[in-house]
Amino acid sequence: ETADSLFILTVSEDYSMKLLRILSLFSLVVCSSLVMAQTREEKVRGDREKVVSEGFWIYNNLPEAFKQAQATGKPIVVVLRCIPCEECVKLDDDLVDTDPVIRSLLEKFICVRQVSTNGLDLSLFQYDTDQSFAVFFLNADKTIYGRFGTRSHRTEWVQDVSLTGLAAALRKSLELHESYPSNKALFAGKKGGKPLFQTPEKFPSLKDKFTARLNYEGNVVKSCIHCHQIGDAVRDYYRVKLEPIPEDVLYPYPHPKVVGITLDPETAATIRGVESNSPAANAGLQEEDVILELKGQPILSSADVQWVLHNISPKGGRVSILVDRNGAEKDLTLQLTDGWREKGDLSWRVSSWGLRRMATGGLRMESISEEKREGLNIPANKTALLVSHVGQYNEHAAAKRAGVREGDIIISVDGKQDILSESAFLAYGVTEKKMGEKIKIEVLRNGTKKMFLIPMQK
């Protein structure tokens, strides 16, 4: 039917051109069908076969990468990428296969494709585990030059990363490598503290399910520890101990927007916008400033900014910033106050799925419009969260079993009326309530107020 329609639309064209278009369309349909027919297992094995046969990337073998870097004197670039990931692949396929600028830069590195976190050294590779695409630039002695890879939306990534931005990070890491080791002191803050567990499979919630290696002799997909499972395991660790989830775990790797900065994804760290009355504005940062160093660390990308912010106390503090403004260096200070992380949005994160199980019994919520607030006579500074989805199965159906329905409007949480977003609701549930306790919510349903008790879960 599609081919017939195409023939009718092109009846005035040359016959050979019509035939070519029809055949192209047919090929596209066939190829799309084959891709759709591929199982996840086939995609994972196919990726390995493709990368290994091309021979450009070291595949899932970090010890070999460090060995080659020591022998050649080259720096290392490690791409952590879950396979197959339909979102990050948009950038990664361009990175590997099509962009000549990126390719020429990568040839100056020892390049590693890491497709699972099984056995990953978490004292070295610390990053936002809600990402499915993260890049590290390292020396052979495991000194970290910088990071790349940022996301602030579940599916959209172009506002945060780009190939030109990656090229800028690659170039800057090469410059830093050329001056190494005389500049080694600059990178002291690029590594974090001791992790809860050295490798992912040692976490209590993962140790009986996974090993340190992928199982290519069996079901490789089921043997893989994904990035987000590390974050889940960290949160589970505190939850099972009946402890509140720490604020730096709940709001990991704060996006620069949290402090009022929007960075240009086409550059390493050029400021594209500064939010008024924000910490960034109060520090005197301006559009077109280029962040050179943050807290004494060289900045290669937005991910480097996030790394520095991640290691700032939730109570706040002073953060030194060195910027290039119109060719002149300028020292500024970012002042962060208690609770500064709470401006971060949790709802886009993969981890929000687990947080909803823990704190909302499987609810998804969204803030209602100003117009609807007025119609319900709810002030702007009072709780008004529309239940947009109610989980239907297992632990995600706890709110459903309690009686909550889609379309309900939550107007108080344990009597509080200052919880203004889904993120704030999630944070309240996992910091103020323990597993086994209950949250009392008051809702409006067709103009009538109703009360429900939602159990707090693991």
| pLDDT tens digits, one per residue of 306-341 | 999 999 999 999 999 999 999 999 999 999 999 999
CA–CA separation, 201 vs 117, rounded Å?
A: 9
CA–CA separation, 405 vs 409, rounded Å?
A: 9
Residue corresponding to tokens 């610390």: 126
Radius of gyration of the CA atoms of the chain, in A = 25
* 3-state secondary structure at position 170: helix
CA angle 387, 390, 393 (to 5 degrees): 165
* Pairing between β-strand 261-263 and β-strand 385-390 as defined by DSSP bridges: unpaired
CA–CA separation, 136 vs 126, rounded Å?
A: 10
7, 77, 93 from 32: Cα distances, Å: 21, 32, 17
- Cα 454 to chain centroid distance, Å, stands at 29
137, 211, 213, 240, 407 from 207: Cα distances, Å: 29, 7, 12, 15, 40
pLDDT of residue 28: 44
Beta bridge partners of 453: 440
pLDDT of residue 155: 73
pLDDT of residue 70: 98
CA–CA separation, 31 vs 149, rounded Å?
A: 30
* 3-state secondary structure at position 252: coil
201: how many CB neighbours lie within 10 A of its CB?
Answer: 20
Question: DSSP letter at 246?
Answer: P
Beta bridge partners of 363: 390
Question: DSSP letter at 253?
Answer: S
pLDDT of residue 193: 93
User: Which of these, 324, 349, 345, 328, lies nearest to 425 by C-alpha position?
Assistant: 345
Write out the H or E segment, with its range, that includes residue 403: none
Paired tokens of 423: 């993120």
pLDDT of residue 91: 60
Stated length of the chain:
458
The answer for residues whose C-beta is within 8 angstroms of residue 450's C-beta and 6 or more apart is: 403, 408, 442, 443, 444
* 3-state secondary structure at position 261: strand
189, 221, 296, 343, 436 from 311: Cα distances, Å: 9, 33, 13, 16, 31
User: Which of these, 159, 317, 343, lies nearest to 259 by C-alpha position?
Assistant: 343
CA–CA separation, 323 vs 218, rounded Å?
A: 52
What are the residue ranges of helices labelled H in 225-336? 227-240, 247-250, 279-283, 302-310
Regions in the chain scoring below 50 on pLDDT? 1-36
- Cα 243 to chain centroid distance, Å, stands at 25
pLDDT of residue 83: 66
* Pairing between β-strand 290-294 and β-strand 297-298 as defined by DSSP bridges: antiparallel
Q: What is the pLDDT of residues 406-446, one digit of tens each?
A: 999 999 999 999 999 999 999 999 999 999 999 999 999 99
CA–CA separation, 265 vs 157, rounded Å?
A: 10
pTM of the model: 0.88
CA angle 435, 443, 456 (to 5 degrees): 5
Rounded to the nearest 5°, which phi and psi values hold at 306? -65, -40
- What type of residue is 392? Q
- What type of residue is 22? I
